[in-house]
A and B are shown apart, each in its own frame.
Chain A
């Protein structure tokens, strides 16, 4: 990490100093209060471990939003035992400070401390009662205003402190931070607040023991989501390497599927497709050529011109591929993409000779991605073409062979993010020699296709795909500086 600017350093120091003062004040009053009424120590002892655990283990909800239980625990703390308890609990977050990202974590701890104090004091000033005295007449509606206002204050304190640090240390615009902190996080914050309230409610009937139970469903949700994420990653890895293995076997187009998938996703994003459709399209791209396994290897590797019969065998591969993946239910829309990726807009494609809009959208996307990758990869009969050259060729064929909209989307996408030019690379692994067939049926400039070959470095593609895959969510929603 880069060293902080002087102004940012000063800012962090000031915040830490304020937090330390607040902590000192809380400690002194808490000790007094505990001596008199004995209601401070136990909430701190119960809530501090929960707080530390929630700092250490953020919960990732299924939707990809990170949920840290820090704020709810702090809100619960002042509802249960007053602002002093909240401040003491917040300060225990310091236990989790590690040497990497040290400054951030120190700042976060200070920020939580101040936010907790702000919420707790506002609650007290507005006449909010501590949960230990709720039991007799239940949750009184009079508490609603203090609870809501104090939660808003926690949010506000958090947002303002973050605003400062992100502006000074990372140069983010105040407006964008404000928007992401306050506007988009207001609802989650209210949910957090409710959660804190629930812990307080349970405390009022069953002490800390009951309050701690609230965490179990959340921990279980977190565990299940982790299982899901792990399984998903395994799924990705499996499908990719199995498809690669299949490619290796037939001596053709190593890495082609990966890149077609990547280009298809670029086009789809440019078209503004829904996320789940992009996802299905990504898999359709990976799987679009699996049907080639049904084409006899002899035909795939043949160097001379193909007989009609052999050409017919090649034309069957989209059908075979679709047959194979038909059992995978979440790919339903992808079937059509795989089946029709060799159709042409003018109706001269295969297997069904569909025209124009009759061709499913997925198929029109894959057709362009497929041809593009084919042209920009090295062939034995020619070197890899440059990207602009390939795009020009696609534009020539747009309207007759390809959907102009898809071609345009690809051109636009490549203006934003350059295509990684693929170098021929030696692929280890299976003990099969890569043999070079002369022509590629995906190459639009080749009239009578008869063979396949391709060399590619797949690592780059794989890395990029995994970046895409990462559920990227605004760090600000975690309520801390990361």
Chain B
């Protein structure tokens, strides 16, 4: 998928990229001045980082990650004693060398990806450099100054200290990722943070543990520690990749099957996809969690599936034109179909409630209607009125109609966000 420059540098991403660049330049410059200390160790870790970068995966939720590369970077920051074939030596390199080695290795490992036209997000590269540098900044001064000898001497203390460093680093990584994502996908920062920390809990703990393990084991195993401890992480990475792949396939399949209403002549072509895209944009901006966004997307794709049970197609498939009773019946039929899968109850509920008005005259607001249903209701109405048209007058007229329905039909907050989302695409589209 090609990304535009505006996407690449949107919002927080630019801060993360700039930070990474600053670090990288400073690290390489400083290392160029002082020279590379203990070059063999640097090369060994550099190779592992580069290999990890080469074995980059897409984790669930469109997260580009290089678990092995990240773990190797952390390990390089945390190495204390290192057993070379000749002797047991204490590492003396500093923070800047960690940054320099990480940067160069990441660039080398990225080159093949760039060559085949699959450049990773700059932001994710920058983050990996920042993270290795951050962990190094916490640990290396303590170690090289000899402070650790007095406070973390022997037994469990050193591993525990490394673990603390890794934990703090993980928190920082989560914050950086949230910063970038919230800018890129227009998600409120807190919501993005919640998603990122949840995602980090899985693969992040494996990365952190592997980093600590490699750093500890070099004292006994020397260079062997690097490949050997990479194996369990690669197994984990492999499982994650399959998980991400099946999630992708799931979404593709729902998209395909959701087109039955179009192929069957019940709805306009592209309707379900457009409603899904708009609903997801609105849901993100409203701060829905990642899992809720997935449900929202599925429900939006299948929101018209109940129409298959109608004897005669609605003219143009526009449910906004039929009576509320009919709308409710279609919603219920659709929900029933979805419920039969046995695994999409939340999606079925969302589809079921899409015909509920925001508020009935004289009655209080019904909190039982999921926010996702209210989003789909508004997005569907908008698309029924506008269709695939790029005509801005039609769009404005449709938005106008949604606004008029705000009191009872549509959730005012949803309509606000939806209006903003549509106006953005109008600026881009025209």
Could you list which residues of chain A lie within 8 angstroms of chain B, going by C-beta atoms?
A: 61-62, 134-135, 138-139, 194, 198, 201-202, 204-210, 213-214, 216-218, 220-225, 227-228, 231-235, 237-246, 249, 290-291, 293-294, 296, 320, 323-330, 429-432
Q: Which of A139, A323, A429 contacts B220 (CB 8 A)?
A: A139
Given contacts A209-B159, A228-B242, A231-B246, A204 and B220 within 8 Å (CB-CB):
yes
Please state if A237 and B342 are interface contacts (CB–CB under 8 Å). yes
Judge if B189 is at the interface, Cβ distance under 8 Å: no
24 contacts between A and B (CB under 8 A): A62-B235, A201-B221, A206-B159, A210-B159, A210-B213, A213-B163, A213-B209, A218-B235, A220-B205, A221-B235, A224-B239, A225-B242, A228-B242, A228-B246, A231-B247, A234-B250, A245-B337, A249-B309, A290-B257, A294-B263, A327-B252, A329-B252, A429-B336, A432-B309
Please state if A205 and B343 are interface contacts (CB–CB under 8 Å). no
**In the complex, what residue of chain B is closest to A431 when comparing beta carbons?**
B309
A220-B233 Cα distance, complex, nearest whole Å: 9
Known: A224-B236, A329-B248. 20 other contacts (CB 8 A): A62-B239, A135-B220, A208-B156, A209-B156, A214-B232, A216-B205, A218-B235, A220-B202, A221-B232, A224-B203, A225-B239, A228-B243, A238-B250, A239-B257, A240-B341, A249-B309, A290-B260, A293-B260, A296-B265, A324-B259
Please state if B252 and A217 are interface contacts (CB–CB under 8 Å). no
Please state if A62 and B340 are interface contacts (CB–CB under 8 Å). no
Please state if B213 and A241 are interface contacts (CB–CB under 8 Å). no
Q: How far is the CB of B226 from chain A (nearest CB, A)?
A: 13
Q: Which of A217, A237, A244, A327 contacts B255 (CB 8 A)?
A: A327
* Interface bits B186-214 vs A (CB < 8 Å: 1, else 0): 00000000000000001101101110110
A191-B156 Cα distance, complex, nearest whole Å: 26
Please state if A202 and B213 are interface contacts (CB–CB under 8 Å). yes
Please state if A293 and B256 are interface contacts (CB–CB under 8 Å). no
A25-B248 Cα distance, complex, nearest whole Å: 56
Judge if B74 is at the interface, Cβ distance under 8 Å: no
A64-B336 Cα distance, complex, nearest whole Å: 35
Interface residues of B in 373-425 (CB under 8 A from A): none
The list of the 7 closest CB pairs from A to B, nearest first, reads: A216-B209, A224-B239, A221-B236, A217-B232, A220-B206, A209-B156, A206-B159
A194-B219 Cα distance, complex, nearest whole Å: 17
Please state if A205 and B256 are interface contacts (CB–CB under 8 Å). no
Interface residues of B in 319-348 (CB under 8 A from A): 333, 336-337, 340-344
Please state if B340 and A429 are interface contacts (CB–CB under 8 Å). yes
Judge if B35 is at the interface, Cβ distance under 8 Å: no
Given contacts A207-B155, A246-B260, A220 and B250 within 8 Å (CB-CB):
no
Chain A residues, Cβ within 8 Å of B232 = 214, 217-218, 221
Chain A residues, Cβ within 8 Å of B208 = 216
Q: How far is the CB of A202 from chain B (nearest CB, A)?
A: 6
Judge if B164 is at the interface, Cβ distance under 8 Å: no
Please state if B263 and A217 are interface contacts (CB–CB under 8 Å). no
Q: Which of A208, A222, A323, A430 contacts B336 (CB 8 A)?
A: A430
A205-B236 Cα distance, complex, nearest whole Å: 25
A327-B276 Cα distance, complex, nearest whole Å: 16
Q: Which of A214, A231, A323 contacts B213 (CB 8 A)?
A: A214
Please state if B238 and A62 are interface contacts (CB–CB under 8 Å). yes
A244-B246 Cα distance, complex, nearest whole Å: 21
A249-B313 Cα distance, complex, nearest whole Å: 13
Q: How far is the CB of A288 from chain B (nearest CB, A)?
A: 14
Please state if B221 and A242 are interface contacts (CB–CB under 8 Å). no
Please state if B252 and A324 are interface contacts (CB–CB under 8 Å). no
**In the complex, what residue of chain A is closest to B258 when comparing beta carbons?**
A242
Q: How far is the CB of A211 from chain B (nearest CB, A)?
A: 9
Q: How far is the CB of A246 from chain B (nearest CB, A)?
A: 6
Chain A residues, Cβ within 8 Å of B256 = 324-328
Chain A residues, Cβ within 8 Å of B343 = 233-234, 237-238
**In the complex, what residue of chain B is closest to A194 when comparing beta carbons?**
B228
Chain A residues, Cβ within 8 Å of B254 = 238
Chain B residues, Cβ within 8 Å of A238 = 250, 253-254, 341, 343-344
A453-B344 Cα distance, complex, nearest whole Å: 28
Chain B residues, Cβ within 8 Å of A216 = 205-206, 208-209
Judge if B229 is at the interface, Cβ distance under 8 Å: yes
Please state if A224 and B220 are interface contacts (CB–CB under 8 Å). no
Judge if B308 is at the interface, Cβ distance under 8 Å: yes
Chain A residues, Cβ within 8 Å of B253 = 235, 238-239, 325, 328
A243-B341 Cα distance, complex, nearest whole Å: 10
A61-B209 Cα distance, complex, nearest whole Å: 19
Q: Which of B202, B216, B240 contacts A202 (CB 8 A)?
A: B216
A427-B317 Cα distance, complex, nearest whole Å: 28
Q: Which of B216, B229, B248 contacts A206 (CB 8 A)?
A: B216
Please state if A61 and B235 are interface contacts (CB–CB under 8 Å). yes
Q: Which of A291, A327, A432 contacts B263 (CB 8 A)?
A: A291
Interface centre among A194, A208, A224 (most CB of B within 10 A): A224
Judge if B222 is at the interface, Cβ distance under 8 Å: yes
Please state if B220 and A430 are interface contacts (CB–CB under 8 Å). no
Judge if B113 is at the interface, Cβ distance under 8 Å: no
**In the complex, what residue of chain B is closest to A246 when comparing beta carbons?**
B260
A134-B337 Cα distance, complex, nearest whole Å: 64
Chain A residues, Cβ within 8 Å of B246 = 228, 231-232, 235
Q: How far is the CB of B206 from chain A (nearest CB, A)?
A: 4
